[in-house]
Chains A and B, each alone.
Chain A
């Protein structure tokens, strides 16, 4: 019985290794893509090529994946190693941070209380919000009501819901709100907003 167990474990381990070997390039690429999202946009092209070629040079399946997983930490480090961004880049960095935050949340509500011009883009598992004008207050709340972001920038009236469980529905709910009263009404009605 004991020998049978050992045999079964060995077979399963061999299968797992084969599966990992098969999906290794895809997984590594997925990790690289994820890490690139954290990087400042002006650095992405460079590091995409560099990281893909470097990962392909690393021998071993698990080592390759481990190497690629480290790019997440690297992306944060590179961002902080770079000189301070210009104002336009800073705006984008904000959007990137917001993307990261929304990626981590199951459900996010963004309430903006003045006029804002923004464009939206759905990413793999979240929502990225690019605020393109200034002077607006925004608040971002987590599902449990804990404020994760609270600052003053410039923008427009909008209440944005990112319903991760239903991306299409969530995307439709992203229509900008033209009036402050309507925004306030929605904010007041939203149980997620403390």
Chain B
């Protein structure tokens, strides 16, 4: 999937906005769900679409599951391409449309 083909939706914008606020931060799906209030059923497909489009990268948390007592978390981070495209998408979405009509 090319990044240009990515369908821009409200939840997607919420998620990328969260990444743009802290571009260096790595976040898990649970972090994002709590911060954006996007339901898990919507969140993970969006994360996957963003990953496929190259906007995000993900890595496994560098911990020993036996030590922490749970499976490793998958941590997502925005890429430079993703940050650029996300800014454009947000601007396109929220920019005022058309030419201001000046009254008489």
Contacts and interface: CB of A to CB of B under 8 A. Distances in A.
A50 B48 contact: no
Interface stretch (B18-26, B71-79, B82-90): B71-79
Contacts of B40: 54, 67-68, 70-71, 73-74
Per DSSP, chain B at the interface is helix
B10 interface: no
Contacts of A53: 28, 30, 61, 70-74
B74 A46 contact: yes
A67 B61 CA distance: 21
A: contact size bracket: 20 to 34
A49 B71 contact: yes
Interface stretch (A80-88, A109-117, A174-182): A80-88
Contacts of A67: 30, 33, 40
Choose among B40, B61, B72 the residue with the greatest number of A CB atoms under 10 Å from its CB.
Answer: B40
B52 A82 contact: yes
B28 A57 contact: yes
Contacts of B52: 81-83
Given A50-B74, A53-B28, A57-B28, A74 B33 contact: no
Contact of A74 (B28, B41, B61): B41
28 contacts: A49-B71, A50-B73, A50-B74, A51-B29, A52-B70, A52-B71, A53-B28, A53-B71, A54-B28, A54-B73, A54-B74, A55-B30, A56-B70, A57-B30, A57-B31, A71-B44, A73-B39, A73-B41, A74-B40, A74-B41, A74-B43, A76-B45, A77-B44, A77-B45, A78-B45, A81-B49, A82-B52, A83-B1
